Every structure is written in C-alpha cells, then in structure tokens.
Amino acid sequence: MTDAPATTAPAPDRFPAEQASFFLPGPAGRLETVTDVPEPEHARAGTAIICHPHPLHGGTLHNKVVTMIERSLRELGLRTVRFNFRGTGESEGEHDDGRGETLDLLAVAEWVQTVRPHDALWLAGFSFGSYVSLLASRHLPVKQMISVAPPAGRWDFSAILPGDWPWLVIQGEDDDVVEPQAVYDWVESLSEPPQLVRMPETGHFFHRRLMDLRGVIKNGVRANLPPKLNP
C-alpha cells in the first residue's frame, strides 16, 4: 500500500478508518503524519507510534525499516502512526538533536491518546528514532517498547532507564553504523535488561533481511498484544 499524499487538512478528531495523511500541530509547527489501520477482523485495542532514523542522514517516515516495523505491527492488529520529525519532509521546524524531536513525539502521542483514549500505547523506533522514543517514554503510559538498532555509543543513553513495560531490542550483528558491541554492553548494564535479539549477517538497514525483521518483531511482541476489539 502506498502512502496517500499529505494534505493541509486539520488534525482529525478521530482516528481515520483507513490509511490517511495529514498534519498534526507540533511545538515547532505542523508535523507530517501517516496513519493506517489493521484489517477489521484482526483489530486490537492498541496504537503504535513508529519513529524514523536520523533526518540529517536521510531518515524519514518512508524509511524501509520504519515501514516494515509499521507493517509488522499492523498485521498483528494495531493501528499505526508514522510522522516526520521537525524539519523533515513536510514537517516544519529545524532539527534539534533529539530534544525537540522528543517534544514532537509527545505531541503526536497526545493526539493518539485523545482520539484513542482506551488503546494501549506502543512505541517503536529505528536507530535515532529509538533514542527519541526512549527519551519520550518517561512521560508516556507505554505498554510495549521496540528499539531497532538503538545508537548506543553514538548518543548518550546513560540517562535512559527501563520503564515498567515489555521491551524488545533488535540489533544486527554486522551493523556498520551502530557498533553492535556498544548495544550489547548497554543492554547488559541495565538493571532490568530488555529482550535482546541479535540478527546474524544483518547490517544497519537490514538489506535482504527485512522479512526476517518482520518475523522477529512479531515473535517478540505477540505475547504482549492488547485484546481484540469486539466486531
């Protein structure tokens, strides 16, 4: 399914019933946002927000790893939200080294909690997006965290502490952007280490391993899925 073109329509007052693109108000201006929904027979009481990699290195909501995370969670029955951080794509503002991007995520989460107040909130991020999602998690009632190739060693993860939520970390063993051992050492240093899946023969962008990533995500979070919605 291809993304619908973004419009200047105001933020919807309910979660769209089919894939939609629109702008949400953010702290630095509008945020380009894409939402999608699962097949009705699979729908569950949960919404996942997926954060993209570093925008100064080409990261957007259309990144292939981001879209595979989104697809995996939608196939499991979750509503999904992707958005471009400030200064990326059609989003307004300027890059802010993770600080402003955290505020962007909180603004998107506020909208999700307004239109889907009874849904379990899941956060997922790829690379820089995993850093931002972890920073924001301390302010949100997260029910599941997914961190794909978290850039430990490149960003300061020392202040990030595990929350009271299930947490899946996925790291490619041949990552040439994020040092795998730095990720393993960081995970082991945590008081409550997350579930860590090491994917052999896998680089940072999961070339030729995207379908394998899909399987790892599904297997890793299936036990924590929210209940199905009544038809």
- pLDDT, one tens digit per residue, over 67-103 is 999 999 999 999 999 999 999 999 999 999 999 999 9
Parse the chain into domains and list their residue ranges. 20-224
* Domain 20-224 annotated CATH 3.40.50.1820: yes
- What whole-number distance in Å separates Cα of residue 63 and Cα of residue 58? 8
Closest to 170 in 3D by CA, of 68, 18, 41: 68
- What digits encode the pLDDT tens for the residues 117-167? 999 999 999 999 999 999 999 999 999 999 999 999 888 888 788 888 999
Tell which residue, 160, 144, 150, has the closest CA to residue 221: 144
Q: What is the pLDDT of residue 3?
A: 57
Sign of the C-alpha dihedral, residues 17, 23, 25, 27? positive
Interatomic CA distance for residues 185 and 173, integer angstroms: 13
The Cα–Cα gap between 226 and 222 comes to 9
For the entire predicted model, the pTM comes to: 0.95
Q: Residue 6's pLDDT band (boundaries 50, 70, 90)?
A: very low
Strand (E) or helix (H) holding 50: strand 46-51
